[in-house]
Structure 1
């Protein structure tokens, strides 16, 4: 039981009791209230008396209240099992987006905000930043363009882009395709994966359905011995949402048109202007430099993997199958085989030491020690006690969801921090990747009272069975730690306005805090503390392990040193190829958003560009090496990032690594569990959210301007 001081949070958790009709009604109510606030601002403020308080502050306080409900309204489409509720959530998000566009283009509101901006009032730094950002936002939303058909066209484009984004993501969430295989065709794929697949009936009798969800897809690409099966799975996955192909194309063309209406040379220039990089040239130079540094290493890695492929096929009596190529569908398989054979890295054995729930508890313990936090899981009657309705099921959206109340420890003052939700297993209609969602932001309300945040991790790990708990491969441990890092950023942020809360930073910084925390997954002492062999969790698991294992000796409770050493040693194995893959995404993103003129965008062959750049940058062969055209797949149509906020910004994953490597190597490398530095990091970086210039945040923490030295050293490229 939790200590007394952590039992009763001062704020009830959010409720998840919406119906399809209530979602639409609530959305319309929020919009009506917001519109009324904007109307009041215009009525009360004039060019003469306009001030921060009677313009931007009034609307920011309304934004705070709206976010408490609107984030959850849009969240249902990612997690609800009810199709009608998901559809209503999608419809509600469209209403909210349309209203957001209408609000951002109100000339009457812009005039009084402009007047307040020009007054030059003395404000606290966060309020000054809010005024500057809001003022700039109106201009970037077309109000710098004189009222004209051009401005009307800009508004049309904004609305259509919103529709595209919503439909594109819905198609990805609702995707439920797959391929039917016999168990023999899936030779090599772990038995616990194959046994969990849907069994065929009728004409599919004797076969199982392999979905494109991560728990099915990745083990198949890593372990299926049949190259034909891997090829079929890989190409089908690249084409799983082809209805998104035309949507992606339309989005790219409309973005370019909108940017040119505003006077920008292309969409990338428009998007990057207010990020840390500031200009497309800075981004292109960074990506180009990294590409030239990584390319030789990538070619060397491919040569080693080709040798392994040739030997593997020979050992299996399939010498004639080797054609001198190394294909896209080969890579996960031979990368895994290389780690197993040359580094004794058995991912199945490693996974036995990372039962999901034990690993989560270990991660939370690391955050407790580093940042001065306490995580208290709320279960059973505890949920009834803190739910406003007195009904514990009302505070979760699915029975699988875990809820934690999060507190400052005694050294940090025992104050309440917020709520953390974990939704960890796949199900139909659910968001298909791993992500952190803000459910309710934190802020200071108009009475000076703190409003506490709620945040959710939505993942897709394999479900437990009677014989085994959910077990994580090491790369899944890294993913979980990364997303939990976003969750912690969301929880400990303390900003005045919800606009700047938590991960609401510029996109080329937002990944840095989580990427920095990934280093703990490559530190021997932390791997040991996170690990516990699943056979120690219960007598039932112990019996099941003994029956399934050919090893007569009892495994050690925590991961043995030699296995940990092998994991740590492999951190940068095939690292050039991994980063060249990220470069492919980043350079493709810049290519489609950085055309010389609009005619070039309209005639751009996007699928061909995606696949050709992948071949040129990653050096891995696709079906084009077998004589097919570069239009064999539409990978960009499965790439939610470029529709959902990382457009002309995917480079941020790589540029954020520069900042994360600098922070870790400068401050934490010598002692990752230094609580003094952890708390300083919490208060200097995470608490600030987007409330000040992100470069200033970095300089405050590092005591200097950031450097690329640690990043290139980490990659062996300095």
Structure 2
């Protein structure tokens, strides 16, 4: 994200103490493979029939810890892993009790197993609890959102506009909320059939796993079952993937990418006294062999207490022409929250974090490679519905094996990441692409509607969001007091502008197909991106930039506004 903080992923929190104990094998419930004396099925706790009571107590306590932690986590692979930990905890009890009550000759064991089975069955709604708890807090934000909407509407009316959406979009390519709405509804219609088919696929999988042909697929099931399906279908293990992305190697990847594509070098620099704000911060100089120094880049990559948990690009100083012979060099900072090394361990990134790093690096390159007369037009200082295009384009580089093999090396053996593994990662990424795109459309519709024209009656944002979800997604809305939108920070940062991510996604798909796909690492590709797009910042009309780079059809005029061509994105996702 340019200018404002873009929440993509918070640092993975530690497991609560009792959960760590349960999963590390220190609880009495754990299986003992080496002890001379153990309990039923190898569980230490099941040396007596009444051990089932403690087995259930410890499982519920550990799962509760995890549910509490999940409610504070953003959507991420860590959520899937934590939910699988819950499943593992609960299923250890269920499966042991089921075997015992059907086969054990001791009546006391059978009765205790029956009780354990009933108690833990009552607890099977943990995913639902985590979902509802996570989407029902903080309640006070409902009033904050209401106040934000009313204040922005009042501002728009003072400025002579019918809505805040009209005020915010007027200077963008889209030009009006009606153009954005038509774009979103058209894309929604395109994706609906495929999204419904993916929904049914997940529902059928759940029914098979649960051995219940009538089981409904609920919103709290999505992350868990789609994660399981991806891992099962493509034999993926996030820890194995992360082993090929030690953080220091990923930084080398950025250097290699900059050198190959743009012919520039990133060199580590020392700080002047008082310049740095934390020992983890690094400073780099971007240098071109013919053009000289291009700008400065700060990297503040690691999570720490008191630091904002998101990932973002910040423009510290814009570039500008000072004279015919002198240019004010831009200064930018990339702020992330990746895990740092702990003791002798090596900091490694999961691939979601690698994609995030490349996304933010795309913003940085936009700022560092632009050359404008005025800093007001430098780098990412462009219309909002163009700003995310370079960052989305550079996400493609994070998924391309030709790029990943340059720096993706096993942290201990040095083995290059296998092409087969990268292919599996890409297949998993696209497995539920329609539902993911549908979700982004839904987010955009929520944002556009809440800041649209207001009626005389007070706005009920919960009902509006619920209606939009039912109408434009394959999923039902959970009625139990949930208000997901009060945690959607883009309503604050982007206000009627979230659609710009979908614009950028379409633009990036077209640029990748037309300009980059055949030879993404060539200097010719980079020269085209730089000289036809990045170097102008916001000093040239955005539609001219896009057409000069990727051809006239990348955008089209629509009702006095401009919308992206969606054909490259649809082709990529096999719609």
TM above 0.5, yes or no, is yes
For structure 2, the residue ranges without an aligned partner over 5 or more in a row are 25-60, 88-123, 555-564
Deviation of 1:696 after TM superposition, in Å, equals 1.2
**Pairs within 5 Å for 1:578-597:** 578-595=436-453, 597=454
- CA offset at residue 522 of structure 1? 2.2
CA RMSD for the aligned pairs? Answer: 3.3
Distance 1:173 1:678, change over 3 A: closer
CA distance in 2, matches of 1:273, 1:281: 11
Q: Distance in 2 between matches of 1:425 and 1:327?
A: 35
Q: Equivalent residue for 2:83?
A: 224
Alignment of 1:474-513 (within 5 A): 474-513=351-390
Q: Which of 698, 702, 706 is matched with 2:546 structurally?
A: 698
Q: 1:437 to 1:592 in 2, by over 3 A?
A: same
Match of 1:649 in 2: 497
> Do the aligned partners of residues 359 and 572 (structure 1) sit closer, same or farther apart at CA in structure 2, a change above 3 Å counting?
same
**1:235 is aligned to 2:71:** no
1 CA distance for matches of 2:511 and 2:465?
Answer: 33
1:345 to 236, 240, 265: 236
Number of aligned residue pairs:
488
Contact 1:215–1:460, Cα closer than 8 Å, also in 2: no
Report deviation, 1:237.
Answer: 3.4
Which of 429, 435, 442 is the equivalent residue of 2:306? 429
Q: Is the 8 A contact 1:176 1:428 kept in 2?
A: no
Secondary structure, in 3 states, of the residue corresponding to 1:432? coil
Aligned with 1:668 (options 516, 524, 530): 516
Q: Work out whether residues 12 and 339 of structure 2, in 8 Å CA contact, stay in contact via their aligned partners in 1.
A: no
Equivalent of residue 400 in structure 1, options 275, 280, 298: 280
Aligned mate of 1:574, from 432, 437, 458:
432
Partner secondary structure for residue 429 of structure 2: coil
Q: Which residue of 2 aligns with 1:261?
A: 158
Distance of 2:451 and 2:478 partners within structure 1: 26
Measure how far apart 1:437 and its partner are: 1.0
Out of 261, 264, 277, the position equivalent to 1:373 is 264
Q: Within the alignment, does 1:279 sit opposite 2:176 as a pair?
A: yes
Offset at residue 377 of structure 1 (A) = 1.4
Q: Which residue is equivalent to 2:474?
A: 619
Q: Structure 1 stretch 350-359 or stretch 424-433: which is displaced more? A: 424-433
- Alpha carbons of structure 1 residues 207 and 244: separation in structure 2 relative to 1, 3 Å: closer
**Cα distance, 1:426–1:526 mapped onto 2, change above 3 Å:** same
The equivalences for 1:379-418 within 5 A come to: 382-383=270-271, 387=272, 391=273, 394-408=274-288, 410=289, 413-418=290-295
Do the aligned residues in 1 keep the contact of 2:10 with 2:73 (CA within 8 Å)? no
| 2:456 aligns with one of 572, 576, 599 | 599
Gap change, CA 1:433 and 1:395, over 3 Å in 2 = same
SS in 1 for 2:266: strand
1:558 aligns with 2:410: no
CA shift, 1:186, in A, is: 8.0
Q: Distance in 2 between matches of 1:176 and 1:519?
A: 24
Structure 1, 255-264 or 452-461: larger mean CA deviation: 255-264
Q: CA 1:529/1:579 → structure 2, altered by over 3 Å: closer, same or farther?
A: same
In the superposition, the TM-score normalised over structure 1's length comes to 0.63
Give 1:162's aligned residue: none
Alpha carbons 1:268, 1:594 under 8 Å: kept: yes
The gaps in structure 1 that reach 5 residues or longer are 1-70, 79-168, 189-202, 538-556
Change (3 A) 1:638 1:288: same
Partner of 1:463: 340
- CA gap of 1:218–1:240, structure 2 versus 1, over 3 A, is farther
Aligned 8 A contact 1:533 1:559 in 2: yes
> Equivalent residue of 1:404, what SS?
strand
Q: Say which structure is richer in helix.
A: 1
Supply the distance in 1 between the matched residues of 2:71 and 2:412 (Cα, whole angstroms): 30
**2:255 aligns to what?**
364
Match of 1:608 in 2: 463
Q: Call closer, same or farther: CA 1:342–1:657 in 2, change over 3 Å.
A: same
